[in-house]
Structure 1
Amino acid sequence: MDEEYDCIVLGTGLKECIISGMLSVSGKKVLHMDRNKYYGGESASITPLEDLFTKFGLPPPEEAYGRTRDWNVDLIPKFLMANGQLVKLLIHTGVTRYLEFKSVEGSYVYKGNKISKVPADEKEALTSDLMGMFEKRRFKNFLVFAQDYKEDDPNTWKAMPGFDPKTTTMSAVFAHFNLDKNTIDFTGHALALYRDDDYLGTPAGDTLRRIKLYSDSLARYGKSPYLYPLYGLGELPQGFARLSAIYGGTYMLDKPIDEIVMEGNKVVGVRSGGETAKCKQVYCDPTYVPDRVQQVRLEIIFFSFHE
């Protein structure tokens, strides 16, 4: 560790691993360190199963669980939209060479004592058992409008005279297509993925983009808009870690970070125990420098005082 690096990255969350991967690809000598045992820290994928039981102070798992290395638990599971920005980044950087994904079934709702798949395109809208015959036609027309919608092309708004994505509310759009409350509910929460109904009073542009993303993601692989790493979300940062390693990056997990070494107002290294790695730049999770940051919208900072 007692070497000099161009950059040191602290923390192995997804953002940090993307940064170290991109820096390594660009030719920088990178050291990546994490005080945690797992990639991703508190939201990590934990495997084998013994580690999960240990984390929560439980006795070792019984034999009935089978091979514990076959288990994987994500502490904060999140699906990836198949046509979202993150998947596009994974494909663009080539990290998908080190990852395997599986397609997750689409969104479902519970209605009338049965579970039904949420329709995501006009074909599914016409066969869904969530709506009556006339409502299906109205919802089909709405989906065609949403799928054709382009914010920078007013010609795609003609199905709704007077529509403006920056001023027309989403409730007005639903009213124009005469959709009932049940249809509005699963559209807003299962397609646009809103947690509450506040979006109904906001400009419709963002909601239409969300619905279009859902539809485009569904079309990408045919069965579901959702993807998930085969061995858990921890595979995402590990994939970028492998990318970094191929280009010469060095990784150290379970490594305490005792001090970010400064000379005047300039960062010059990171100390761990009796070792100090010198560097020109430090990228880190804000929790590594709580006395130098304040909470803002961004969750990662660029920490550098070099001239």
Structure 2
Amino acid sequence: MDVKYDVIVLGTGLKECILSGLLSVDRLKVLHMDRNDYYGGDCTSLNLNQLWKRFKGEDTSPAHLGASREYNVDMVPKIQKVPSTDMEALKSPLMGLFEKRRAGKFFLYVQDYKENDPSTHKGYDLTRITSKELISKYGLDDNTIDFIGHAVALHKDDSYLAEPAIDTGFARLSAVYGGTYMLNKPECKVEFDDDGRVCGVTSEGETAKCKKVVCDPSYLPHKGKFIAFVSAQAESDNPEKELKPGIDLLGPVDELFIDTYDRYEPTNDSSSDNCFISTSYDATTHFESTVMDVLSLYTKITGKTVDLSVDLSAASGAEDDDA
């Protein structure tokens, strides 16, 4: 493993895998390591036995729950099936029939809208009227507005309603473009030179040299601190009580796992030490903040913005060959 790399990525969480892929496409020499023997880090998915071992310290789950392999439990669940066809939308209980018609007209307006074609604007100047004013033109109720704003547009709060409307709007990829993966690499120690700049990563007595390191917070914790990840935003000293209304909606459950985490953000100066650390996952139910963190890290690492026009046919071809 005594080889020099441009970047060593520690941890195979979603952010680290996306960055690894992007940097490999940029033709940087990337080594990707993880202390675990599985991909995903703290946003991995566990079978039932793995879940039991992680939260209860037991090797096997109760027999009455069925086969362990039949379960795939997300540690950071951010994907949910939503209606995606006309038929699914008609059957969905999210809206009544008449509200679906009104919402459908609004969605068609958004779908047909072209910024440079005034004929699609229907007389609305979206640089002047607010989102709330535009939505009110279609008579949508509060539940639909919440659905559009938070489930579709992924806004974290309602501040967008007072703003002008309609904003302009991973591991395998790395391997295909030359990235090297190493799982089950315990005690990955980040090495620094005399100037405090990262120079490599040591594991099992071997050191991989590099110019930059990308990692999740657990690989470079503040000394004496215990690192964990946020899965819900606690407002009091009793987070379980705060979650009770949501838990009650689940109805009867066989097992309940309650875990409380601290949320961390990097405080280091990456331009000085060349360590690029992702933030912990937040309490949102979508990937917007994750993507923004990835884009920010990519720019800090490379000095460029992500080019989504890059031809990734090599990755597609590799998948076809494996099929």
Range into which the TM-score falls when normalised by the shorter chain: 0.5 to 0.7
CA–CA distance in 1 between the matches of 2:143 and 2:27?
54
In structure 1, the partner of 2:64 is: 64
CA–CA distance in 2 between the matches of 1:261 and 1:193?
40
Q: 1:285 aligns with which of 216, 220, 231?
A: 216
Residue 8 of structure 1 contacts residue 30 of structure 1 at CA under 8 Å; is this kept in 2? yes
Aligned with 2:166: secondary structure?
Answer: helix
1:5 and 2:8 aligned: no
Aligned with 1:8: secondary structure?
Answer: strand
* TM-score normalized with structure 2 length: 0.57
Higher strand share goes to which structure? Answer: 1
Task: State the Cα deviation string for residues 197-247 of structure 1 (Å, max 9, x = none).
Answer: 4432222113x96xxxxxxxxxxxxxxxxxxxxxxxxxxx55446546xx3
CA–CA distance in 1 between the matches of 2:100 and 2:106?
10
1:175 and 2:117 aligned: no
Instruction: Give the 3 Å change call, closer, same or farther, for CA 260–301 of structure 1 in structure 2.
Output: farther
Q: How much does 1:138 deviate?
A: 4.3
In structure 2, the partner of 1:222 is: none
In structure 2, the partner of 1:251 is: 182
Instruction: Give the 3 Å change call, closer, same or farther, for CA 151–256 of structure 1 in structure 2.
Output: farther
Instruction: Give the 3 Å change call, closer, same or farther, for CA 31–151 of structure 1 in structure 2.
Output: same
Q: 1:204 aligns with which of 153, 165, 189?
A: 165
Deviates most, 11-20 or 180-189: 180-189
CA–CA distance in 2 between the matches of 1:169 and 1:3?
56
1:141 and 2:141 aligned: no
Please tell me the residue identity of whatever aligns with 2:83: G
Structure 1: segments with no counterpart, 5+ residues: 81-103, 108-116, 210-236
Residue 18 of structure 2 contacts residue 171 of structure 2 at CA under 8 Å; is this kept in 1? no
Q: How much does 1:61 deviate?
A: 0.8
Please tell me the residue identity of whatever aligns with 2:213: V
Instruction: Give the 3 Å change call, closer, same or farther, for CA 28–177 of structure 1 in structure 2.
Output: closer
Matches within 5 A, 1:75-114: 75-79=75-79, 104-106=81-83
CA–CA distance in 2 between the matches of 1:189 and 1:144?
19
State the structure with bigger RCO (CA 8 A, min sep 6), 1 or 2. Answer: 1
CA–CA distance in 1 between the matches of 2:62 and 2:141?
51
Q: 1:298 aligns with which of 293, 299, 307?
A: 293
CA–CA distance in 1 between the matches of 2:100 and 2:63?
51
Residue 5 of structure 1 contacts residue 277 of structure 1 at CA under 8 Å; is this kept in 2? yes
Please tell me the residue identity of whatever aligns with 2:56: G
Aligned with 1:56: secondary structure?
Answer: helix
CA–CA distance in 1 between the matches of 2:108 and 2:204?
61
CA–CA distance in 2 between the matches of 1:275 and 1:57?
34
CA–CA distance in 2 between the matches of 1:75 and 1:274?
31
Instruction: Give the 3 Å change call, closer, same or farther, for CA 197–33 of structure 1 in structure 2.
Output: same
Residue 266 of structure 1 contacts residue 304 of structure 1 at CA under 8 Å; is this kept in 2? no
1:54 and 2:53 aligned: yes
Structure 2: segments with no counterpart, 5+ residues: 223-266, 270-277, 280-291, 303-323
Matches within 5 A, 1:141-290: 141-157=105-121, 159=122, 161=123, 163-181=124-142, 183-194=144-155, 196-206=157-167, 238-240=171-173, 243=176, 247=178, 249-264=180-195, 266-289=197-220
CA–CA distance in 1 between the matches of 2:293 and 2:143?
36
Question: What is the Cα-based RMSD across aligned positions, in Å?
Answer: 3.9
Count, aligned residues: 232
Q: How much does 1:31 deviate?
A: 1.7
